[in-house]
Amino acid sequence: MKDKSKSFINNINRIDTFSPYFFLPFILILYFFISLFDFHRFELFNVTVSIWPVVILSIVCYYIGVYAIDKLQWTFPTFGLSKLGKYVVHFIILLTAIGLISYILMIVQGSVGLSDESVRRNLDPKLNFLSSLLWFGVLLLLSYKMIREEKMTFKKAIVYFVIFAVVMVLFLLMGYRTPLAIMLFTGLIIFHYVVKRVKLTWFLTFLAVVGIAFALFGFLRVVSEDTSKEFNNREQPDISHLGEEEKEQLISVEQKVNLTPKWMRALNGEMVTGHIVLSKIIEYTEEEGYLGGEMHTGIVSTMLPGEQTSPRMKVTEVVNSLSVEEGKYITRPNRTTTPTFIGQLFLDGGYLLVAIGFLLYGAIVSLIYNKVKQAGVKSFHSVAYAFTVTLFTVSMHTGLLDLIFILMLGFVILASAIIKSEKRQLKI
């Protein structure tokens, strides 16, 4: 029995954890599987529409994109800009300097989002936008320096990790987890290909530890809110219009939910919410139709002068419109909702847009991975691949609705396409 178990584990560990064929689809399936442990929240929010047809469609289309590009061995063209390849690192240094200055200005102004949710949600938009260039630039520069080491040792790897950790702590002060997640997993992928192969069992352990830490971070952020501030108001909708039977049913379900301690619900609370939001988005489009591009045009329009509704705020309006009459908010008013990348696409164009979106995801990841196979891991393409697949994977929960992330993605893809590297085949 022990031999069989050992053989099974060894077979699992042969899988390339961060291959395009495994990493992103695995995280997507795991995300929605864990969301099934809902502690009666599906009942509370009356989740009746199944998400599985669109989830399965997403995975199938992603694999089609990856497989087709892999077989064709295509890579991104140079776009006629190959002469600029030698300036890529210089430009990254410039972006990092801009980010550092912006970050310092934010701290001087007292914009520490960790102190309270109301602060985090009202950071200076321009400085917050530009300060992201700090962690982005440091991530790219350190990763590239790491892969260019002639001989990478664990001691050197620890030094790199410490620098990563310092920058992550800086952005922890902002109260945002997304940059931390991107830095952690990008660094892990670089470590996997350059220092030591990360076995799947090790990765699962790492994933569990990071997942629990991030969940509890979010939980502590909520419970420490200053509820005297209007922004942190936790009142639920008026239920005076409900009948006595409906009121009793609502209270009964809430009691069922509260039987599970808050900290335990917080462990997979983000995933359960993601499941609920996706289901409600599908339900909404069945009744009201698709938004026809409003979500994605909102990515740019929110940067324009005047009052604008951000894409995530629009998601909050959509899902709450289905629950407020039942006496509950899926997301508190004035807060934003992460739609999952599937929900983001579905809200704008249904199954067709989801299929196109995941086909492109698979194609882009495979295009960069082919470049890594051609040039080897000791190239900038490894950094580009690690960042791209991480950003895409994180967006499975957050959606890809931030202009800064889209610009970062575009820069990394362009840099990978034009930067020169030795042509050498390498099996990964």
Tell me: pLDDT of 96 over 60: yes
pLDDT at 116 over 80: no
First to last CA, the chain: 32
**Among the listed ranges 21-25, 53-57, 152-156, 382-386, which one has the minimum average pLDDT value?**
152-156
pLDDT at 63: 97
Top-confidence residue, 3 or 348 = 348
Percentage, residues of the chain above pLDDT 90: 42
82-96, 186-200, 233-247, 360-374: which has the minimum mean pLDDT?
233-247
Buried-state track 147-160, b at ≥16 Cβ within 10 A, e below 16: beeeebeeeebeeb
Token reading at 231? 């922004």
Quote the CA–CA distance of 294 and 309 in Å, as a whole number. 10
333-390 pLDDT per residue, tens? 777 888 999 999 999 999 999 999 999 999 999 999 999 988 888 889 999 999 999 9
Of 235, 202, 211, give the one whose Cα is nearest residue 333: 235
What local confidence, expressed as pLDDT, does residue 8 receive?
Answer: 57
Q: What is the pLDDT of residue 12?
A: 59
pLDDT at 231: 66
Beta strand extents in 166-321 (DSSP E only): none
Q: How far apart are CA 151 and CA 284, in angstroms?
A: 55
Contact (CB, 8 A) for 355 and 62: no
The predicted structure's pLDDT at residue 232: 67
CA distances from 195 to 157, 185, 202, 298, 384 (A): 8, 15, 14, 41, 17
For residue 11, name the pLDDT band (cuts at 50, 70, 90).
Answer: low
Residue closest to 394 by CA, chosen among 24, 35, 98: 24
**Over the chain, what is the mean pLDDT?**
85
Contact 278, 51 (CB under 8 A): yes
Q: Cβ of 40: how many Cβ atoms within 10 Å? A: 17
Asked whether residue 25 carries a pLDDT value surpassing 70, the answer given is yes
Residue 64 backbone phi and psi in degrees, to 5: -60, -45
So what's the pLDDT on residue 241? 75
What does the pLDDT look like over 257-274, one tens digit per residue?
A: 888 998 899 889 999 999
Among 104-113, 310-319, 389-398, where is mean pLDDT lowest? 104-113
Model confidence at 427: pLDDT above 60: no
pLDDT surpassing 60 at residue 332: yes
Q: For residue 120, what pLDDT is reported? A: 60
Per the model's pLDDT, the better-predicted residue between 116 and 202 turns out to be 202
Residue 89 clears pLDDT 80, i.e. is over it: yes
Lowest mean pLDDT among 96-105, 189-198, 239-248, 395-404: 239-248
pLDDT range class, residue 327, cuts 50, 70, 90: confident
Q: Can you give the C-alpha Rg of the chain in angstroms?
A: 22
State yes or no: pLDDT of 222 exceeds 90. Answer: no
Angle, CA of 219, 220 and 224, to the nearest 5°: 120
Cβ–Cβ < 8 Å for 338, 397: yes
Residue 175 gets which letter from DSSP? T
**What CA–CA distance (Å, rounded) separates 350 from 354?**
6
Q: For 45-59, what is each residue's pLDDT tens digit?
A: 999 999 999 999 999
Say if CB 170 and CB 113 are below 8 A apart: no
Distance (Å, rounded) from C-alpha 317 to C-alpha 277? Answer: 11
Q: For 273-299, how does the pLDDT look when each residue is reduced to its tens digit (9 = 90+)?
A: 999 999 999 999 999 999 998 998 888
What confidence tier does 413 reach under pLDDT thresholds 50, 70, 90?
A: very high
- Residue 77, judged by CB atoms within 10 A of its CB (0-12, 13-18, 19+), counts as exposed
Per-residue model confidence (pLDDT) at position 191: 84
- Tokens for 355? 């299929």
What amino acid is encoded at 253 in this protein? V
Mean pLDDT on 290-310: 81
Position 298 scores a pLDDT of 87
- Which one-letter amino acid corresponds to residue 402? D
